[in-house]
Amino acid sequence: MSKKIQFGTGGFRGVIGDDFNKENIQLVAQALSNIIIEKGQERRPIIVGYDNRFMSDFAAKWFTEVLNGNGIKVFLYTHVVPTPAVMSTTKDMCNYYGVMITASHNPYYFNGIKVFTKDGYDADVAFTSLLEKKIQEVTNVKIIHDRLARKKDLLEDYTNLGSYLSHIKSFIDPTINKNKLKVLYNNMNGVGVIGLKPMSQKLNIFQFTIINEDHDAFFGFNLPNPTKEALSGEFSETVYNQGYNLGMATDSDGDRLGIIDEKGNYVSANEILASLYWYLITERGYKGDIVKNCATSVLVDMVAESLGYECHEVDVGFKNITAGMKEFDALLGGESSGGLTMRGYIYGKDATFSGALFLEMVIKLNKPVSRIISDLKKSVDYDYYCSEDLITLDVDAQEVLNYMRENLPALTKKYLDVKMFGRNIKFLFENREWLLLRLSGTEPAFRVFSEFKDERTANELVKEVKEYISNIQDIIATKNGDKQ
């Protein structure tokens, strides 16, 4: 049996027809079933959802057939859903586990499996390590057809959109229902529209125009992720030229949010997180610290400090954000890749939730989005330059990371300290400047994040780091060649 299965920060992801195939899907399902049975948890059902990626509906069926074959009841969605809806259901139904078939924001030729544990948390490293171990031990996969499963009361159709959206709406100020807001929403051919379309109606948004609403398993051959690169050009120009108050976009499984301001400029996830935190504290009267991951802007720290609170920094992976929120009873938690959540909501990121909050903020403050962001930065004297880059690897990524930990670079700008966050190395400089090397969990590459007062310094340091990693690859390649 094929067992090339590893769970990263966002679950198991693989190329369709290669790592992501029927055999591996059923192996994961059987391993999960074995854990459930060993722990005596089979009396509680499991919710299984799927997005509209190629084969997601089939994969959900194959996964379900194995759970049913092991006597475990499944509530299977009757339609595609955003990932946060499955997390919400897992929490609301007090289930031990939930499963979502998705590869999140990855290219169209990927698909994957996310597993949620009790209360709707992303499965932590301890659980995914156990799951990987159990996958290796599988010798027999038990399967029953869905028709028989229904006869045995092991399979039920399910939807929870009503309760899911009502829960989100309960966080939103009801007085925003009289507004003149014009929004252009780019669904990016994903499932974010499943939540945001009815939510815009519930909030009575004056004009909510949707593009790329149709199902396209290829996502127009674009990366279904609301990054600056993806939203620049035609979409941002349309927002500006047609007089929209803002543009909004979500990734393929509906948990990451992207914003374009009324001038057609990209609003970074750092700015979304910082502005919403400021708004919730100063305008809505909430209290509490904030949690960010180590790749997120110091702007968040500066806003928290200006309000008399603390920003807590954790490793990359939203499971670490929610763990930090629980530890510090934080109000908000988020990351630089476009996800956030709030105290009392689910333990995961949700673009319908964050999108609704952002719309509320713009309506209540009655200011252009560009002004909201510029006023916030001025209030804390923030004037940094942020950059992000990618370094692809030709040798084993873990070997490169291990070598780097033992042989830190001598950069032209002297760093004051180095912090290790799991697969990340963060260099700290004076004036709160920093540079982060993050080993990707889904591809053989390092992502490089930097935040400096001077753009030239940032670019020069990124160039130095690229050369440094290139040299390490040469050393490792030579060493491995000698061994052969």
DSSP per residue over 433-471, as a string? -EEEEEE-SSSSEEEEEEEES-HHHHHHHHHHHHHHHHH
Question: C-alpha distances in angstroms, 162 versus 167, 202, 359?
Answer: 9, 11, 20
Rounded CA-CA distance 352/473 in Å is 42
pLDDT at 398: 87
pLDDT at 9: 66
Report residue 1's pLDDT band, with 50, 70 and 90 as the boundaries: very low
Express each pLDDT in 26-59 by its tens digit.
999 999 999 999 999 999 999 999 999 999 999 9
Q: What is the mean pLDDT of residues 322-348?
A: 94
CA angle 296, 302, 307 (to 5 degrees): 125
Express each pLDDT in 383-407 by its tens digit.
999 988 888 888 888 899 999 999 9
Determine how many CB atoms are found less than 10 A away from the CB of residue 375: 13
Positions of CATH 3.30.310.50 in the chain: 385-483
Rounded CA-CA distance 330/343 in Å is 7
pLDDT at 5: 84
Q: What is the mean pLDDT of residues 167-176?
A: 96
Report residue 276's pLDDT band, with 50, 70 and 90 as the boundaries: very high
As given in the structure block, the two tokens for residue 172 are 């939103």
pTM value is 0.93
Report residue 440's pLDDT band, with 50, 70 and 90 as the boundaries: confident
* CATH number listed for the domain at residues 177-379: 3.40.120.10
CA neighbor of 354 nearest in space, from 335, 371, 370: 335
Least confident range of 137-146, 286-295, 441-450 = 441-450
* CATH number listed for the domain at residues 385-483: 3.30.310.50
Mean pLDDT (the chain, rounded): 94
Q: Which CATH superfamily is domain 7-161 in?
A: Alpha-D-Glucose-1,6-Bisphosphate, subunit A, domain 3 (3.40.120.10)
Query: What type of residue sits at position 56?
Result: S
Q: Check pLDDT > 70 for residue 149.
A: yes
Report residue 482's pLDDT band, with 50, 70 and 90 as the boundaries: low
131-137: which pairs have CB atoms within 8 A and are 24 or more residues apart?
131/7, 131/28, 131/31, 131/32, 131/35, 132/5, 132/6, 132/7, 134/31, 134/32, 134/34, 134/35, 135/3, 135/5, 135/27, 135/28, 135/31, 136/3, 137/31, 137/34
99 near 114, Cβ under 8 Å?
A: yes
pLDDT at 396: 87
CA neighbor of 219 nearest in space, from 185, 251, 247: 251
What is 168-211 written as a DSSP string?
HHTTS-GGGGS---EEEEE-TTSSTHHHHHHHHHHTT-SEEEEE
b/e string for 197-211 if b means 16 or more Cβ within 10 A?
bbbbeebebeebebb
Rounded CA-CA distance 317/158 in Å is 29
Q: What is the mean pLDDT of residues 183-212?
A: 97
Positions of CATH 3.40.120.10 in the chain: 7-161, 177-379
Q: Check pLDDT > 50 for residue 445.
A: yes
pLDDT at 360: 98
CA angle 448, 452, 453 (to 5 degrees): 160
